[in-house]
Amino acid sequence: MSELLPSEGAVEAAGPSESAPLALLNREQAILAFNRRVLAQAQREDVPLLERLRYVTIVSSNLDEFFEVRFADVLEAARAAPSEASRADLAAVAARAHGLIDEQYAIFNTEVMPALERHGIRVINHADRSEPQRRWVAGFFEREVRPLLMPIGLDPAHPFPQVANKSLNFIVHLGGRDAFGRESQIAIVKVPRVLPRVIRLPADVCAPGEQGFVLLSSVIRAHLDELFSGRTVESFSQFRVTRDSELEVDDDDVTNLRQALRAGLTTRHFGQAIRVEVVSSCPPDLWRFLLEQFDLPEAALYRVDGPVNLVRLNELIDLADDLAAGAALRFAPYEPGWPAGRLPRAGSIFDTLRERDVLLHHPFESFEPVVEFLRQAVNDPDVLAIRQTVYRTGAKSVLMDLLIDAARRGKEVMVVVELKARFDEEANINWAERLEAVGAQVVYGIVGLKTHAKLLLVTRREAGPRGAPQLRRYVHLSTGNYNPKTARLYTDIGYLTADPGIAADADAVFQQIASLTRVKPPRHLLTAPFVLHRRLVRHIGQVADAARAGRPARIVAKFNALTDPGLIHALVDASRAGAQIDLVVRGACMLPPGVPGQTERIRVRSVVGRFLEHSRILYFRWGTGEDDEVLYLSSADWMGRNMFRRIELAWPVRDARLRQRVIDECLVPYLHDSRDAWELQRDGSYRRVGTQGVSAQQALMARFGS
């Protein structure tokens, strides 16, 4: 077995030891710290320029969700129970968010955009446009934009309009009198979402070799006065409001969850305002007016030095040519391959799984074997039943189309569709309705619990040992979603098996979700909210006991977040006992490593690279024997919601060959990464390990790409 590197050696949470309570790190601050690490990718000169811009837009997208969900909770807590502590917490998180956004725009304005301009990609403001460019923009405005704009002058009969979540708008202060002789001063211009936010200029109005772009906000700004004939535009600003986007559905007070969520989607865009963004030049009277309209404190105002929605600059990335001034501006294409040596492409996947389990490491290996597994099940007349969980599959999905086809062919199809997957509710509702229309059995999981487990079960009639027919089950489990698109962008592990024990457990999981009855506890799968948390605490305790007894004691775990106090307490106790612990935590981690006497044997690192780290891998060793170690793959992060408010799975990798492969590919490289890795410090800050060394992701790309 490859040797795993030994570790080098506020919320109060008391651990099981007699030591003083350990002050945990703030969760919201930890989320913002992760986005700072993502933003740092935009400053790396070894990252292609358009990809650097993409990291800037990713931070904007992440921060939108942070405000819609996490900051909304912090703000609500401060409003519901105002206290010195809640106000201080709100102020601290808001200050950190302001600092991060200011840094983001500084990098955008002083590093990324000037570098793109040096390579001939220019976003041209009105003042810098040539006369031919201004004529073209004026024509575009008249043809494509002005017919869709309807300014609203505010007065008692024209109240402040409903402004949708994250939409682009303008607030305008007008001089003079309106058409009825009154001095109405404020107008609002809502910009329809159907309009492109980035427009590429024709080559004939640009300099040779130049790619010219204009932003929609700049186009409207240049022609704003044309919307107010007879008035003067004295001041204006673009603005954007972010709203609380949690769908509030009382699970205990609805008769049909799908119908209730469908109704809730219509009002989601107009929830409680959380944040207002304006440009830095916005006059105080205008931003104060906006804060008053949205009932927000000044801490919720973000004055930004640029467009108020950087995430929409993804359109520029899509429109720009790949090569500029002879430089590659995007990552070199990477095409994950089919694992031909372990899974013959032309053969039956069922035949292979009767011989051995198959492990797939995405995105370095293709997701297509998973699609082909389901396709063969749909086309095989001996397959009688297919059951699958669906969390995030996308608005277009070959897997969902195959399930619909299976139902049309008369197979027994059951799909557990999680309707409350945040921001995927509408797509999942649509799939649920399409599946029901062709006769598939669709259930929406368990009331009060999100179904986050990734599980696909196929039941097939086969000839038994003496020729008599028997039923055999085949299973696919995964750490990530059934989504071919994200499978090219996220690191995840898929596991195909015909192991009778795991298959029986998988069947029991579906039986319990569908029938709501008690089932025999699974023997091999660890399920939340039932045994997963308890088993993990037990394994950590076994490691702690081994350390106290002087036996080998080791934990290496990789997941996306660590915020559950119970698991943190157990890890701290194991560290105090002398266990060596390495954690690879992509996002929020509330455990401060390196605290003398408490967590000095715990090392926490985060890897941020080309792909989003998403796999969950858990390794425990508490001795020298073959039975003194276990390795699990899991759908669950180490968060309270995953352990107690979701249906989750973890499963052991019992095949020694595959277990070693997981260690060699998914743990060891990340402990050695000296290019994309960051190490968490005891104060919650992160220190970059390096920028010139070995990248785990690049090493895996080279390994599987050869």
pLDDT of 421 reads 65
pTM of the model: 0.92
Q: What are phi and psi of 232, to 5 degrees?
A: -110, 135
Q: pLDDT tens digits, residue range 74-106?
A: 887 777 777 887 788 888 899 999 999 999 999
How far apart are alpha carbons 536 and 555 in whole angstroms?
11
**CB–CB of 459/471 below 8 Å?**
yes
Instruction: State whether residue 406 is helix, strand or coil.
Output: helix
119 is catalytic: no
Structure tokens at 460: 């097939």
CA contacts within 13 A on the Cβ side of 555 = 33
Q: pLDDT tens digits, residue range 288-328?
A: 999 999 999 888 999 999 999 899 999 999 999 987 656 78
Residue that wins the pLDDT comparison between 104 and 175: 104
Q: Which of 108-122, 167-181, 370-384, 420-434 has the lowest mean pLDDT?
A: 420-434
In DSSP terms, which residues pair with 463 in a beta bridge? 469
pLDDT of 16 reads 45
pLDDT of 454 reads 97
How far apart are alpha carbons 425 and 391 in whole angstroms?
9
Question: Which residue from 681, 704, 692, 700 is spatially nearest to 25, judged by alpha carbons?
Answer: 681
pLDDT of 426 reads 81
Distances (CA, A) of 9 to 17, 437, 485: 20, 59, 40
**CB–CB of 479/616 below 8 Å?**
yes
**CB–CB of 651/574 below 8 Å?**
no
Which entry of 223, 361, 362, 452 is annotated as an active-site residue?
452
pLDDT of 418 reads 86
Is the pLDDT confidence value at 257 over 80? no
Mean pLDDT of the chain: 91
pLDDT of 14 reads 39
Structure tokens at 596: 């003398």
Is the pLDDT confidence value at 252 over 60? no
CB proximity list for 91: less than 8 A, separation 6 or greater: 299
pLDDT of 83 reads 80
> Once rounded to an integer, what is the mean pLDDT over residues 45-54?
96
Q: pLDDT grade, residue 5 (50/70/90)?
A: very low
pLDDT of 1 reads 46
Q: How many other CB atoms are found less than 10 A from the CB of residue 303?
A: 18
Burial class (CB in 10 A: 0-12, 13-18, 19+), 260: middle
259 CA to centre of own chain = 26
